[in-house]
Chains A and B, each alone.
Chain A
Amino acid sequence: MPEILLNGRPVQARGDQTVLQVALENGVFVPYFCWHPQLSVVGNCRMCLVEVEGRGLDIACNMPVSAGMKVLTDSDDVKAHRKAILQFITLNHPVDCGICDKAGECTLQDYHYAYNGEKSLSVDDKVRSTKFYNLSNRILLDNERCILCLRCTRFTHEVSKSMALGVERRGDVSNIRPVEDRPLGEDPYSDNIIDLCPVGALLSRQFLHKSRVWYLTPTPSVCPGCERGCTIRIWHRKPEWFVKSLDPRQNTAIARITPLENPAVNGPWICNKGRDLARIFERVRAEAPMLKGRPVPLAEALDAARRLIGAARHPVALVSSWGSNEELEAFKRYLGEVFRGHVKRDWLPEEGERIEDDLLIRPDKNPNTARARELFDEGEPAYHDGTDLVLVWGEGYDFARIPPQARVIFLNAYLQPENGHAEVFLPISIQTERAGHYTNFQGTVSAFEPCFPKAAAVTDAETLFRALAAPARGHP
């Protein structure tokens, strides 16, 4: 363990570390643009210049530690050079923060205030370049804002391996460009480059000019897109910034989804499906309990369901693999003795969706199959002539498979044709409306928290299971 002097303070380092890593680990912040813990070192932004006594300035991200080296991260020389590097970086940068989606979470903006704070020394015209360059149907590129840190190209080469991006031309007219025949649109991880971009050069089309980021707040959650269970942040409007005059649905809409870094599961990445969860969660909701398609109050629907359960002799249940650990356990606790539960895959891979790869994407497209399989039986229930009641929890089950003599209790969150075919239909809440946990395929449990209030007239499945169990305990 070599010991180095960091601003005069002795700190322990591992031999394979760089000065930048040691500094960050020991609470000494050294600014950087191009360095990223998950990507190779290119050392091209030159922002992390530090001084080594006796050796002058060099970049910390590529400097191996050696015993006894004296590193200064805040000397006058370092400060002067940082300031100059920011002058160079902003020389051709449009500084159009007022219309840039990145403003508020932009590294360049932060560093400018922290380390430069002066206007440009240049009086000459800036180099113009392409704006709104179409990288894919998800991402736009503003080359004028780009600082060529090459995080995006390295991501496509080293992490997603789509090799979709490269640099065209040289000097101050260098541009990030897609590589021929390797469309970025086919990279299922492409949107990570938007988060990686330290400036506002890579723009999400979904989020383009949708909101200033300081109007939003993130809620930690778990992506239900597959059994990997990546941790995510669901960004939505802060209550103090709720709009009143415009469409108030904005207040309860998902603004964007970003990864929540989690070394145990997904590292700093998520796939594009995880960014598109609004497509799943913001479908039209089922909001009324129904008896054979006729809207009724909840109490009436519950009574009917209890009667069915009480009368059933061979009831089976299809348990949702989108249920949280708490809900699955509640089902087991309250209804496990009545129903024989079978794990149901609510979602199957969609057409064109990547089934599996060696980065994150897993073949089972449900978040909690692992826990469901621990509690319930695998496979289709063995229906027979005596099967008289089927409880279906969650979507994605073909009712044609249910024997015609069986009555159906259906719990679903979305407006779907099957809702009206069930004997009893009960609307339930969705993930963004409640707290809970999912267990991923590796057995790692991750928590999600509610982002929005529950839609009117829907109930958490957990509450319903308790209510449904009531007659089974002595009230026939």
Chain B
Amino acid sequence: MPGRQLIMSFPVTATSHSLDEYRARGGYGALEKALRTMTPAEVTKEVTASGLQGRGGAAFEVGRKWQVVVYDDGQPHYLIANADEGEPGTFKDRWILENNPHVLLESMLISSYALGVRNCFVYIRGEFDLPYRRLAGAVEEAYAAGYFGERILGTDFCCDIVVYRGAGAYVAGEASGLIASLEGKKGYPRNRPPRLTVKGLYQRPTVVNNVESLSNVAWIIAHGAAAFKEIGTPKSPGTRLFSVSGHVNRPGVYEVELGYPWMKFLEEDCGGVRDGRAIKCVVPGGVSSKVLTGAEIRDLPLSHEALWDAGSTLGSGGMIVIAEGTCMVTLSQILMRFYHHESCGQCTPCRHGMGWLHRIMDRIVAGQGRPEDIERLYYISKFNDGTTICGLGDAAGYAISGILDKFRGEFEYYIEHKRSRFQGNLECPRSS
């Protein structure tokens, strides 16, 4: 067990997601505590004091985002849980939605109370079937038990929730693209300013938080910010859910206390790399984070600051372990196909750059690469960095330039010999 657990702290059974079992675990106690003993400002203060960082990718402090919303500015406010989990390699929010949906709902109620929100939303990705059914079931249970609707728990607090299913676009996971999609428009991200906490959904102050970020709020209110800060490292308090995939023996979702040694986690909890191979590299947090080689991660702890220092990020917690013998060129081709397919086409550098990256990778893999292609890949990623409306263009650039920085030789080999040094291999046999 990699450290203490806040969200995955119970054994999963066929009924562990139900309201009854959630309450048996102490569920909705934090909501009672917040509504009966705390003012909205105190809740915000507690969340801010906890230092909770966003779990969707940018690790922006939740409290700082909330503080921009002025509680009594006379406007409607909105809270949106971003459950459009689309980053390749990431499937941690899915675990919460499937197995602990009430922790999200309770946390959203507390957050809505703190932010002066009358209507909150869950934007769930359209491909999620079981998570959607579990969440919709939980919403029904919560309404029946009086946790949503008018005068919740006999207080003056009223709150309704809408679960909205997305239509399958990666960019709709970007907060402003999500809002556009929720408003019924094409999922085009918006330019900032204005920030979403100033003008978001329906041009009103809106807080968009990742499912996992929000799910920590109930624990923080129940146990206090001080207790939360004791978990993890000083700069990265709390735990993170990692969805581990790739060439490990036990892939899956793990809750890891931040600061936990990375290799220990992979070796002990994830059962080590398949086939006893060495780690070639790891995608730490979704494919939009830069890859780190086996050597680079050897002594790293799993914390935001350690990863930032190493030139990457924990991102969305989608960890992909890549064993020796994997062809990084073929892998890059697949990644670029993804970004090309998912570019919304709104702004110029990404609309054309993603297709350009994809076509160059296709050509290299087809054995028609040219020596200048590597410079061209760098060129495209350089001029997508910071020039686009949302982060998709940047992310694709980080992904390809991160791989190129570390495995340039493999690309050069492929271009020169017109074949992969590793036979285009992406698979790794399971350890017997």
Contacts and interface: CB of A to CB of B under 8 A. Distances in A.
A49 B349 CA distance: 12
B344 A123 contact: no
A175 to B, nearest CB: 9
A127 B355 contact: yes
Contacts of B382: 84
B421 interface: no
A81 B351 contact: no
Most chain-A CB neighbours within 10 Å: which of B343, B355, B376, B382?
A: B355
Given A124-B356, A124-B359, A88 B349 contact: yes
Contact of A46 (B193, B349, B355): B349
A39 interface: no
Nearest to A172: B355
A172 B343 contact: yes
A64 B195 CA distance: 13
B343 A88 contact: no
A166 B184 CA distance: 14
Interface string B351-387: 1111110011001000000100000100100110011
A181 B393 CA distance: 35
A64 B389 CA distance: 16
Interface stretch (A55-63, A270-278, A332-340, A431-439): A55-63
Interface string B75-106: 00000000000000000000000000000000
Interface in B274-312: none
Contact of A84 (B191, B343, B379): B379
B169 interface: yes
B343 A170 contact: yes
A108 B355 CA distance: 21
Interface string A8-46: 000000000000000000000000000000000111111
A171 B191 contact: no
Interface string B302-334: 000000000000000000000000000000000
Contact of A81 (B341, B354, B387): B387
Contact of B346 (A44, A47, A91): A44
B355 A85 contact: no
A91 B344 contact: no
Contacts of A428: none
A375 interface: no
Contacts of A170: 169, 186, 342-345
B388 interface: yes
Interface string A110-143: 0000000000011111010000000000000000
A147 B169 contact: no
Nearest to B339: A171
Contacts of A42: 191, 346
B387 A171 contact: no
B348 interface: yes
Contacts, number: 98
A167 interface: yes
A62 B347 CA distance: 14
B247 interface: no
B348 A172 contact: no
Nearest to A45: B348
Given A57-B387, A92-B355, A124-B363, A85 B191 contact: no
A46 B388 contact: yes
A179 to B, nearest CB: 12
A85 B345 contact: no
A148 interface: yes
Given A46-B349, A62-B193, A171 B389 contact: no
A167 B353 CA distance: 19
Contact of B191 (A43, A47, A124): A43
B356 A167 contact: no
A44 B389 contact: yes
A41 B389 CA distance: 12
Interface in A164-207: 166-167, 169-174
Nearest to A83: B383
Contacts of B353: 88
B125 interface: no
Contacts of B347: 43-46
A49 B376 CA distance: 22
B345 A89 contact: no
Contacts of A147: 348
A59 B349 contact: no
A44 B348 contact: yes
Given A46-B349, A64-B193, A88 B383 contact: yes
Given A124-B360, A171-B355, A43 B348 contact: no
Interface in B13-47: none
Contacts of B363: 124
Given A171-B341, A171-B342, A171-B345, A89 B352 contact: yes
Nearest to B370: A123
Given A46-B347, A62-B191, A172 B352 contact: yes
Contacts of B341: 171
A46 B387 contact: yes
Contacts of A148: 345-346, 348, 351
A173 B354 CA distance: 12
A41 B191 contact: yes
A172 B389 contact: no
Contact of A43 (B340, B349, B356, B389): B389
A171 B344 contact: yes
A85 B349 CA distance: 6
Contacts of B348: 44-47, 85, 88-89, 147-148
A415 to B, nearest CB: 53
Given A171-B342, A174-B345, 11 more contacts: A43-B347, A44-B348, A85-B349, A85-B383, A85-B387, A91-B352, A91-B355, A92-B355, A127-B355, A171-B351, A172-B352
9 contacts: A62-B191, A81-B383, A84-B382, A84-B387, A85-B348, A88-B349, A124-B356, A127-B355, A172-B354
User: Which 4 residue pairs of A and B lie closest in terms of their CB atoms, listed nearest first?
Assistant: A174-B345, A84-B383, A171-B343, A124-B359
Interface of A: 41-47, 49, 56-57, 59, 62, 64, 81, 84-85, 87-89, 91-92, 121-125, 127, 147-148, 166-167, 169-174
